Amino acid sequence: MLPYKTIGDASAAIGRPLTAAETLWFNYSATKSDYFLYCHNILFLFLVFTLFPLSYILLELFFHKKTHKFKIQPKVNLSFSQTLRCYFDVMRMFFLVVGPLQLLSFPSIKMIGIRTSLPLPSLAEIVAQLVIYFVIEDYTNYWMHRFLHCKWGYEKIHRVHHEYTAPIGFAAPYAHWAEVLILGIPSFLGPAIVPGHMITFWLWIVLRQIEAIETHSGYDLPWNPIKYIPFYGGAEYHDYHHYVGGQSQSNFASVFTYCDYIYETDKGYRYQKRLLKQLKEGAKTSGLQNGGSQNMSTVDLKSD
Ligand SMILES: [Zn+2]
Ligand SMILES: [Zn+2]
């Protein structure tokens, strides 16, 4: 809720006329409580968990011929009922854990200093904070994910997320309730260290989940612009982690590739990439190539 009654009061307080975006924010948020604004995340997460994975399902349904070659594990096809069950499982977790967590975590948001006030942050400030959030999340998530692959962590908690050896978008948030809580910490840490505006926080929550859905989509689409971000892992990178499964000691990072490179936990992935390249080149020279794509199921290899 803003401490100004009119736009005139607000511009007098910040010492200049409001920008168009600030006027929009004033009109929307002036009479709404900070708690209500924070809880918008519940609606955003519901829409992201539903619509983004759905776009991949529609891609498969209506553009199957054009996009099938970009499927990372083309031999694996989930039925409609399996896909629906995954979505309902995620929604159950959403209403029992994710939603209540949002409702209850507001005091921590107030404590770290997420603000709803004017002036709004500049675009450069928003982008800089989002980059910092992604870097902090990636590093912290790497170690927590790695911990979840110890015998106890995997058997008690993380095994649920690995039920999908060929992930789909809906399976991105599919996990044990304890994992949902544990991996909420890396997402919270960035805003806690570098607190920003509520709009930046909304964007962070939405973009982080879109990124997770993209890396679980099962598709390595060539026209996807985010895969060209330096050190970005992407769908193929994380798909390998699911493909190998419980024994995986490779590709723990959630967003970028440098942690796995620095701590040498990408050896299995690199080995398989090299092998696939050799096989492809061998097939080319022997004239046996049948137009197949370079993907995980081309060769049944689960070595780390
Ligand atoms: Zn894992
Ligand atoms: Zn995953």
66-124 confidence digits (pLDDT tens): 999 999 999 998 999 999 999 999 999 999 999 999 999 999 999 999 999 999 999 99
DSSP notation for 43-70: HHHHHHHHHHHHHHHHHHHHSHHHHGGG
pLDDT on residue 247: 77
- Token pair of 38, please? 């924070």
From the CA of 112, how far away is ligand 1's center (Å)? 30
Q: Which ligand is nearest to the CA of 217?
A: 2
pLDDT on residue 299: 47
Whether the per-residue pLDDT at 137 is higher than 90: the answer is yes
From the CA of 242, how far away is ligand 2's center (Å)? 6
pTM of the model as a whole: 0.90
Whether the per-residue pLDDT at 283 is higher than 90: the answer is no
- How far apart are the C-alpha atoms of 242 and 174, rounded to whole Å? 13
From the CA of 242, how far away is ligand 1's center (Å)? 7
Measured in whole angstroms, how far is the alpha carbon of residue 185 from the centre of its chain? 14
Q: Sort 46 into a burial class: Cβ within 10 Å, 0-12 / 13-18 / 19+.
A: middle
Whether the per-residue pLDDT at 37 is higher than 50: the answer is yes
pLDDT on residue 116: 96
Among the residue ranges 40-44, 154-158, 273-277, the one predicted with the least confidence is 273-277
Helices 40-62 and 198-215 sit at what angle, rounded to 10 degrees? 30
Please report, rounded to a whole number, the percentage of residues in the chain having pLDDT higher than 90.
82
From the CA of 289, how far away is ligand 1's center (Å)? 33
From the CA of 124, how far away is ligand 1's center (Å)? 34
- How far apart are the C-alpha atoms of 141 and 137, rounded to whole Å? 6
From the CA of 172, how far away is ligand 2's center (Å)? 6
In the predicted model, what is the mean pLDDT of residues 205-212?
A: 97
From the CA of 23, how far away is ligand 2's center (Å)? 40
From the CA of 139, how far away is ligand 2's center (Å)? 16
pLDDT on residue 276: 87
In the predicted model, what is the mean pLDDT of residues 132-150?
A: 97
Whether the per-residue pLDDT at 293 is higher than 50: the answer is no
Whether the per-residue pLDDT at 134 is higher than 60: the answer is yes
Whether the per-residue pLDDT at 303 is higher than 50: the answer is no
From the CA of 154, how far away is ligand 1's center (Å)? 8
Most distant pair of Cα atoms in the chain: their distance = 76
From the CA of 48, how far away is ligand 1's center (Å)? 22
- How far apart are the C-alpha atoms of 141 and 200, rounded to whole Å? 20
Q: Give the phi and the psi of residue 295 in degrees, each rounded to 5.
A: -140, 175
From the CA of 216, how far away is ligand 2's center (Å)? 6
Q: Is-contact 248 267, C-beta < 8 A?
A: no
From the CA of 75, how far away is ligand 1's center (Å)? 22
From the CA of 263, how far away is ligand 1's center (Å)? 16
Please report, rounded to a whole number, the percentage of residues in the chain having pLDDT higher than 70.
94
In the predicted model, what is the mean pLDDT of residues 8-20?
A: 95
From the CA of 236, how far away is ligand 1's center (Å)? 14
| Residue 47 CB coordination number (10 Å) | 12
Question: Model confidence at 176, in pLDDT bands (50, 70, 90)?
Answer: very high
In the predicted model, what is the mean pLDDT of residues 216-226?
A: 92
Give pLDDT tens digits for 227-245. 889 999 999 999 999 999 8
How many angstroms separate the first and last alpha carbons of the chain?
Answer: 53
Question: Model confidence at 188, in pLDDT bands (50, 70, 90)?
Answer: very high
From the CA of 301, how far away is ligand 1's center (Å)? 18
